[in-house]
A and B are shown apart, each in its own frame.
Chain A
Amino acid sequence: MLSDDTLERDLRGALHDLVGDVDPDPHIGDVVLAHHARSRRRSRAARGAGALAAMIAVAGLVVALTAGQTSTPGQAQLTLAAFHLRLPAHSRVLAPGSHICLPAIVSYPGTSVPSDGPTNPTESKVVSAATGDGGCVSVLLTAPFTPGSASAPTPFNDANPTPVTIAGFDGTIGTVTWQGGDMTYDGVSIPDGTTQSELTLQVPAAGGQVEDLVFAAEGLSRQQLVSIVSSGLSAPQAKR
């Protein structure tokens, strides 16, 4: 039987041995500083209209991440329902709930931010990936809705949206900023002023309804996001 002192010493050694060969990205400090600088720049430009909008960042994750998605550099793919987004080389699918990429932001008129988990009946699903150049992409699929109805989601604080057509779906690309103050949603920090490029495609759903398929990106330009989605989106029910 080991004495407590010996056991403690052995455990110290064993724990260090267990993870001693694990090292972070050598550029992690610069990545963090760059991310911080972007956030500050954008938050200053974006203050003002936040209190007016109710916002929900819904992260009801029911997505199975396959082993291939998490471990094959250069071939990572985000899958949401029937939609697949093939990611650029060196991208990495992020574990749900632990990513630093913010959930896509969609506003729902008349709703407020839930305090503990998704409560909105129009629950959406979101998956995220880090791109090799320090950017981050989230894909969000809203629940089906009838265009023009009260339950239809509307992009939040969308500045200068530009029409796009990708894979046969019409949509827009714009800039979205969260202005409701610092918050944490489902373990993900959402600082006030967080800004993302957001590409929204409207896709047909059952019963004559539609869904918004939203691609949100941090650290990537609108052009980069359009390029990623244009070249990587696979959607079996695309309009032809």
Chain B
Amino acid sequence: MTEADAFRVFVAAYSPTLLRAALLLLRDRSAAEDVVQSTLLRTFRRWKRARDAPEAYSQRVLINLCHDHWRHRRRHPETDTLEHSAQVPAPGVDLTDRMAQRQALEAGMAGLTTQQREVLVLRYFLDLSVAETAERLGIPEGTVKSAAHRGLAQLRELLPTPEKETSHAQ
């Protein structure tokens, strides 16, 4: 199998995960697609180094590019083109409604700090361990744990509880 063939196999298998992770991190479909394409290009440029663990390599590149994106946004806030503008639901809104729940989660993710959002996406979407998350983000494991704890606490109210589901079913 040539390098290009091996890369194609990797892209077919893993590019959906990269795009979805980028979308969760950036909350902008267009930006996520651009970042993923750049990620794949850089991964292939270093394929000899990346081929043993292309998922991990591409995760690191993706995170670096997301950091670049955020840095640019901070410098040029007027060019922010977020597609999603979900609002935090008012108290008492029935979150068992699927759409409302999705919007609430989007809003909840948007309300997290960048580090909390990164940690939650890496830990619970990419299913990385605490140690892997710390390595990808270049932060101590303790910071990963505390960011995950705080992020989860912030999202706790936005996820359905068994009681809510029960009352909705009645």
Please pick, from B15, B30, B75, the residue contacting A24 in the complex, using a CB distance under 8 A: B15
Q: Assess A64 versus B72: contact at CB under 8 Å? Given A14-B101, A98-B35.
A: no
**A192-231 interface mask toward B, CB cutoff 8 Å, 1 = contact, 0 = none?**
0000000000000000000000000000000000000000
Closest CB of chain A to B108's CB: distance in Å? 9
- A/B pair count, beta carbons within 8 Å: 144
Chain B, 78-103, CB within 8 A of any chain A CB = 78-79, 81, 101-102
Q: In the complex, are the beta carbons of B24 and A19 less than 8 A apart?
A: yes
A100 at the interface (CB under 8 A from B): yes
Q: In the complex, are the beta carbons of A61 and B76 less than 8 A apart?
A: yes
Closest CB of chain A to B164's CB: distance in Å? 11
Q: Name which of A78-86, A88-96, A146-154, A160-168 contacts chain B.
A: A88-96
Question: B41 — nearest CB in chain A belongs to which residue?
Answer: A32
- Distance A98 CA – B15 CA, assembled complex (angstroms): 17
Q: Assess A24 versus B34: contact at CB under 8 Å? Given A15-B124, A65-B79, A97-B68.
A: no
Q: How large is the interface on B (under 10, 10 to 19, 20 to 34, 35 or more residues)?
A: 35 or more
B4 at the interface (CB under 8 A from A): yes
Closest CB of chain A to B35's CB: distance in Å? 6
Contacts of A98 in B (CB 8 A): 26, 30-31, 34-35, 38, 65, 68-69, 72
Besides A19-B20, A29-B40, 12 other A-B contacts (C-beta < 8 A): A12-B127, A23-B19, A28-B11, A28-B15, A32-B11, A36-B45, A95-B30, A97-B69, A98-B34, A100-B41, A117-B75, A186-B72
- Residues of B at the A interface (CB closer than 8 Å) are 4, 7-8, 11-12, 15-16, 18-20, 23-24, 26, 28-31, 33-38, 40-42, 44-45, 65, 68-69, 71-73, 75-76, 78-79, 81, 101-102, 105-106, 120-121, 124-125, 127, 152, 155-156, 159-161
5 A-B pairs with the lowest CB-CB distances in the bound complex, closest first? A187-B68, A97-B72, A29-B11, A19-B20, A95-B31
- Residues of A at the B interface (CB closer than 8 Å) are 1-2, 4, 7-8, 10-12, 14-20, 22-25, 28-33, 35-36, 61-65, 70, 92-100, 117, 184, 186-187, 189, 191
